[in-house]
Structure 1
Amino acid sequence: MFRIIGLIGLLATAQAAPNPHLPKATFDTVAPKLPKTIERGVLIVSKTNGWRHLEHIPHSNVVLTGIARELGRPAYATENAAIFNDEQLARFSVVVLNSASGQFLTEPQRAAFQRFVDRGGGVVALHAAGDNSHVAPWYVDTIIGTKFIGHPGDDDHIQPARILVDQPDHPVMKGVTLPWTPKDEWYSFSGDPAAKGMTVLARVDETSYRPGAKLAMGSHPIIWTNPNSRGRVIYSALGHTPESYDDPNYRRILTNAIRWAAR
């Protein structure tokens, strides 16, 4: 009897265990102390108040830090959103939103981020930085330009698919070798961001993978920029797996994107 009760207790505890992919939302109020050497740097933010991409964030933060240093820029990776203040953002040229998800900024922090972009600051938003957990109008209009509606699941969750490059001469896409069929979690969106004034750089060929009837878009953008922003803004839906950040083509795109966003 005691053994049965013990097992029931263990099962109840297991069922009540928090999902590490869905951390409790928190808001940061005390900004970190930045190294004095940070000037014209690259800020890498992986704060998650929505779905947390445990699989890739640790590795991608290392890769992105390395890319920034290869470009001769100091990098600072953090999950403390209180860094979104005018004084500290002024020390960076680019903010990389590395699968930052959910409403992770307070209203004053979001306003500081908007001022950063309006002053010409660059933004490189990756993967979950474009999911539907972001609802603030300025963020949706400036960073995303469309609405995430889902991705294939179960056996079709991660699939190889062919990338089509719309703008091969754009600085972000320079040097990408085709054909390119990376394995990834393929995001679908409610509409083409080009309809909102975005410039699509690359698409995924839906005939090369199984999107499912509800997620098929026909013309399926995967990387785009916002030419109407004062700062250079780029979004890439790629990057669910850690291996993505070791793909030579994707590393080149990330390098190009940070360089381009930093002007």
Structure 2
Amino acid sequence: MKKIYLLCVCSVFLMMSLSRAWAQKNKSPKFKVIVMAEMGDRHRPYVDAALAWLEGEAKTKNFTVDHIENAEKINDAFLSQYQLFIQLNYPPYMWSDSAKASFERYINEGRGGWIGFHHATLLGEFDGYAMWPWFHQFMGSIRFKNYIATFVSATANVEDKKHPVMKNIPAKFFIEKEEFYTYDASPRPNVHVLASVDESTYAPNSDVKMGDHPIVWTNTKVKARNVYIFMGHDPVLFNSKDYKTLFSNAIAWASQK
């Protein structure tokens, strides 16, 4: 009798476990993410690391990730499938006029959220492309000026500790390796700055500095939740708990309306 009882109990627990596993497997994703990633030689190692990390996050946090390598598919119908657009190291040029128009509507009308990294502020005239005026304003009316080609480590300061994107990020966090851009002006007057880099902590030191140097910010003048995170060149960033927390926080916040 005791054996039968134990067998029944074990069967119940097994069925409960299988039911939970089945429910988890068939649960609808919370949201869908489209990632536009530049797959060129210089940025390929970072992009590969980021996509692998994103796949892990998607499984853990129950969302889906698709990715494209250029702007050819971008139109209103395509973007309507996604609640979050991640511009993963892709510049604000090489977009068709129709793709630009659809993206502008997506952001201006709050159809979905946006996270941009690194190359998204390569604003100016590059490779024969004119600067995109709307994107120029979206990023705080800045123009690319210079960069630290030799790379440096640095300490960043959190400026808005209460913003959800900065949750569980220490007041000062370390960036192991980056080629910090400088711009013709600080975006601060036109955006809400969440973090900035302390240029006095560059190691090795560099003469490529701009003084007030925001590196994480959001533009509150558009309806879409959006955040720009400058760091995004080297895969070593994914060895940093703070960087992964920043990325994860940005996804959680920007994917919601």
TM-score bracket for this pair, using the shorter chain length: 0.7 to 0.9
The offset of 1:47, in angstroms, is: 3.8
AA aligned opposite 2:237? S
Q: Give the % identical residues.
A: 27
Q: Whose strand proportion is higher, 1 or 2? A: 2
Aligned to 1:12: none
- In the alignment, is the contact (CA less than 8 A) between 1:143 and 1:234 conserved in 2? no
- In the alignment, is the contact (CA less than 8 A) between 1:164 and 1:203 conserved in 2? yes
Equivalent in 193, 218, 235 of residue 187 of structure 2: 193
TM-score by length of 1: 0.77
Query: 1:66, 1:185 → 2: CA distance?
Result: 27
- In the alignment, is the contact (CA less than 8 A) between 2:151 and 2:180 conserved in 1? yes
TM-score by length of 2: 0.78
AA aligned opposite 1:124? I
Q: Which has the larger radius of gyration?
A: 2
AA aligned opposite 2:215? I
The offset of 1:144, in angstroms, is: 5.1
Deviates more, 1:120-129 or 1:96-105: 96-105
Specify whether residues 149 and 223 from structure 1 end up closer, same or farther in structure 2 by C-alpha distance, changes over 3 A only.
Answer: same
Aligned to 1:254: 247
The offset of 1:80, in angstroms, is: 4.0
Aligned to 1:17: none
Query: 1:114, 1:38 → 2: CA distance?
Result: 26
Deviations 1:83-110 (A, max 9, x none): 2111121110110001012522100011
Query: 1:51, 1:211 → 2: CA distance?
Result: 27
The offset of 1:52, in angstroms, is: 4.9
Specify whether residues 69 and 78 from structure 1 end up closer, same or farther in structure 2 by C-alpha distance, changes over 3 A only.
Answer: farther
Query: 1:148, 1:69 → 2: CA distance?
Result: 36
Specify whether residues 101 and 211 from structure 1 end up closer, same or farther in structure 2 by C-alpha distance, changes over 3 A only.
Answer: farther
Aligned to 1:109: 99
- Structure 1: unaligned runs, 5 residues or longer: 1-36
Equivalent in 89, 100, 109 of residue 99 of structure 1: 89
Aligned to 2:222: 229
3-state DSSP class of the match of 1:251? Answer: helix
Do structure 1's residue 128 and structure 2's residue 119 form an aligned pair? yes
Deviations 1:161-202 (A, max 9, x none): 01111001110001013442222222222211122x200000
Query: 2:38, 2:94 → 1: CA distance?
Result: 7
AA aligned opposite 2:213? H
Moved over 3 A (4+): 37-40, 210-213
Specify whether residues 71 and 141 from structure 1 end up closer, same or farther in structure 2 by C-alpha distance, changes over 3 A only.
Answer: farther
Aligned to 1:43: 34
Deviations 1:139-176 (A, max 9, x none): 121145312212122xxx22210111100111000101
Do structure 1's residue 238 and structure 2's residue 234 form an aligned pair? no
Specify whether residues 64 and 104 from structure 1 end up closer, same or farther in structure 2 by C-alpha distance, changes over 3 A only.
Answer: farther
For the aligned residues, what is the CA RMSD?
2.2
Correspondences of 1:1-263 after superposition (within 5 Å) = 40-47=31-38, 52-101=42-91, 103-120=93-110, 121-132=112-123, 133=126, 135-143=131-139, 145-153=141-149, 157-183=150-176, 184-195=178-189, 197-209=190-202, 212-213=206-207, 215-263=208-256
3-state DSSP class of the match of 1:192? Answer: coil
